[in-house]
Structure 1
Amino acid sequence: MSKTFKVTLAAIAAITLVACASTAVQVNSLRGKSVSTADDNALQVKEYVGKRPGQTPLIVRNFEAQPPLIPHTIENYEISATENACWDCHNSDDFKGKKMPMVGKSHLIGPVVADVTPKLNMQRWQCDTCHVPQVDAQPLVDNVFQGNISRQ
């Protein structure tokens, strides 16, 4: 390489570096605050609306075909393919003398027959995928959604 080529290459690199540095912009979050502000705290842990099953009324659905919401905590409930605390209680309309909703027929294999414990379709064992417990929290953003609760 010739000396002139090396000098030209170095000059181009220096000009590029200066041009890039002069156009650098401070990064901000979408909220307009600096990313590293001290008041950007983590959200507080919220308590579930219902502590124990059977003590909280069912939560009204907001739209047709909405999966029912869980009106109690599911903390410490085992939900796996081999152990399902939801199924232990919701496999009939009457568990230990208490009324509670039975698992939907779409979640079962075969017809529901009186005096026979229904069988859970194992493609539906992970209840908390669609059914979620609720916490008493204010919305994070404004929401004007009005549910269609006329069909309940």
Structure 2
Amino acid sequence: MKKLIGAMLACLMAGSLMAAQGQITTESGGVKSLRNSADLAVEAPAAQLKNFRKDGDLYDRQYMHQPPLVPHDIRNYEIDTKVNKCLACHSFKNASVMKAPKISPTHFEARDGMTLGEVSPRRYFCLQCHVPQADAKPLVGNSFKPVEALN
């Protein structure tokens, strides 16, 4: 433990010395990122929001077991430990009234395979897997081909 703390202190002291000597800067050094060449110390304006596809204009799934994409705007949807706006329409209780797809029965399974009476905590935060459909340019090149069986 003492060696680990000693090594961490040595790294911090070396970094401080390099910064004092002007060897470390906050400039990007010509490296481009999603922020382009903006200095990381400067707060850049937020990117424009993407245009969400309209209801009924759906993307097909591209691979087996792909979570369905969200075909509507979800801006300002509240999803936290007490509230899940998605369940207002997609729960078994509300889906038929709201004319929305029901959430999959797999979302009621615990990690050990046991079926629960409520949505499993590991499946409760919908936006970890289900993302909105948006007309957005790819950030990097992509040569992915969809699974043949899904065409």
TM-score, length of structure 1 as denominator length: 0.59
Query: 1:86 corresponds to which residue?
Result: 86
Q: Deviations over 1:27-71 (max 9, x none)?
A: 32258xx9469xx98743322223xxxx32443111001111111
1:56 touches 1:72 (CA, 8 Å); kept in 2? no
User: CA shift at 1:149, angstroms?
Assistant: 5.3
Matched-pair identity in %: 33
Structure number with the higher helix fraction is 2
Q: CA RMSD in A?
A: 3.4
CA radius of gyration, larger in: 1
**In 2, Cα distance between the equivalents of 1:29 and 1:72?**
36
Unaligned ranges ≥5, structure 1: 1-20, 112-117
Query: 2:61 corresponds to which residue?
Result: 61
Q: Deviations over 1:90-149 (max 9, x none)?
A: 113843262x221111111538xxxxxx62122321100111112111222222211115
Distance 1:97 1:81, change over 3 A: closer
**In 2, Cα distance between the equivalents of 1:144 and 1:77?**
33
* Superposition map of 1:114-125 within 5 A: 119-125=118-124
Unaligned ranges ≥5, structure 2: 1-21, 23-27, 110-114
**In 2, Cα distance between the equivalents of 1:140 and 1:56?**
26
* Superposition map of 1:1-152 within 5 A: 27-29=29-31, 35=37, 43-50=47-54, 55-92=55-92, 94-96=95-97, 98=99, 100-109=100-109, 110=115, 119-148=118-147, 150-151=149-150
Q: Give 4+ residue runs of structure 1 displaced > 6 Å after superposition.
A: none
